[in-house]
Amino acid sequence: MEEILFLLSPSRWPVQLREPSTSEDAEFASILRTLKDSFDNAFTAMISFQTKNSERIFSTVMTYMPQDFRGTLIRQQKERSERNKQAEVDALVSSGGSIRDTYALLWKQQMERRRHLAQLGSATGVYKTLVKYLVGVPQVLLDFIRQINDDDGPMEEQRERYGPPLYSLTKMVIAIRVFLTLLWERYDTFKLSKDQMNLLSEAAIVYTSEFERFVTFISDVFANSPFFISADTAGILWSRDNEEYKEIIVQAGRTYEISLMVESENSYIAWDFSLMQGKISMDIGFSVEYINASGEKTLILPYRRYEADQGNFSTLMAGNYKLVWDNSYSTFFKKTLRYKVDCIAPVVEPDPEPEPLN
């Protein structure tokens, strides 16, 4: 479709159509502008479908993830990866890459997305460290995201069932592209009759309208497919009680500290805590500091009082990080602190495998 949009761009038209000198050329130029609008709309519908479907799958996966820093890290990993992919495409287009080159890159990126899904499901690759911390994620979800793109998996089943109508439309749009390509090459010696103009216009209208109808239909199919079940529907969301939280009583006038020795920069330190509340709402001071080898302290997270908090940050230096809960300001009330703290090594994408030598 992008190749047709390229051909329908006025700058690619034969000079006779860019600067029409006859009523026939002027009429055909008007028809071409209408066709370009139709193909633009169809292309927009396709991009919207791809974006929404990808986000729907990812959002479904995320409903199974613990709603704390671990799910956040996976989302951040995805967003960072998508930004890098888009920058790669933009750089190729800016350097004059062809449509064929662009689609080859997009296909490669799509295969990388499938590989990452499989890695998340099998706890390998960039997700090897993170999945270790995904307490409470049901195995059925990990199996689903590992197998979704298998040769006999659910996506292939959808392609076999609903692909043929799309393949017929693909043949039609290829015929339109070939016709326009040949017409532009021979426009000096071959002029379309009015009937031929109308036939081209009708073919384009049929294709774009049927394509948009198919995209709307297949969007509904994917939105309601039985394998896109939510965690609530599956009934297997695990409560926080099933996760590895600890409890400690911080006496009045005291503090409670946890030290984490971080071995490499760009590690993640993350926490999730809350106070067990009674009739009176309680809070507790919390701060994070870095202590270097000589004992000097650097404040990372300023002191503040919370009833509950959840957060994480990426370390800039290796060394000792101390998380401090402060109840020293309280004269009478002890606080029951329920918390979870983790230090996660850097999550990095592996180097791409070298291309095989021909």
Answering whether pTM is above 0.85, one says no
Gyration radius (Cα) of the chain, Å = 29
Rounded average pLDDT over 42-51 = 85
Q: Check pLDDT > 80 for residue 315.
A: yes
Gap between the Cα atoms of 202 and 334, Å rounded: 78
Whether the CB-CB separation of 250 and 256 falls below 8 Å is answered with: yes
In this model, does residue 229 exceed pLDDT 90?
no
Q: What is the pLDDT of residue 165?
A: 80
Q: 285's torsion region: left (phi>0), alpha (psi -120 to 50) or beta?
A: beta
Residue 284 clears pLDDT 50, i.e. is over it = yes
DSSP E strands, the chain: 246-250, 255-262, 268-275, 284-291, 297-306, 308-314, 319-326, 335-344
**What is the three-class DSSP state of 65?**
coil
* Cβ atoms within 10 Å, residue 46: 16
Domain regions of the chain by residue span = 2-66+135-234, 245-344
**Cα dihedral 338, 132, 315, 337 in deg (nearest 10):** 0
Which range has the top average pLDDT, 205-214, 234-243, 280-289, 321-330?
Answer: 321-330
- Candidate from 52-61, 127-136, 223-232, 312-321 with smallest mean pLDDT: 127-136
The pLDDT value given to residue 227: 53
Q: What's the average model confidence in pLDDT over 332-354?
A: 75
Average pLDDT over residues 210-238: 67
Angle at Cα 293 formed by Cα 292 and Cα 296, nearest 5°? Answer: 45
Q: Which of these ranges, 53-57, 307-311, 313-317, 318-322, has the smallest mean pLDDT?
A: 53-57
- Tracing tokens 């592996």 back to the chain, one arrives at 350
Task: Read off the pLDDT of residues 116-152 as tens digits, 9 standing for 90 and up.
Answer: 666 555 544 444 445 444 444 555 555 666 666 666 6
CATH class of this structure's domain 245-344 = mainly beta
Q: What is the mean pLDDT of the chain?
A: 79
Residue 220 CB neighbours (<10 A): 10
Residue pLDDT, tens place only, 147-202: 666 666 666 777 777 888 888 888 999 999 999 999 888 888 887 888 888 899 99
Q: Which helix (H) or strand (E) holds 84?
A: helix 69-94
* pLDDT reported for residue 70: 62
pLDDT surpasses 90 at 267 = no
Q: What is the pLDDT of residue 110?
A: 78
Residue 115 to residue 112: CA distance in whole angstroms: 5
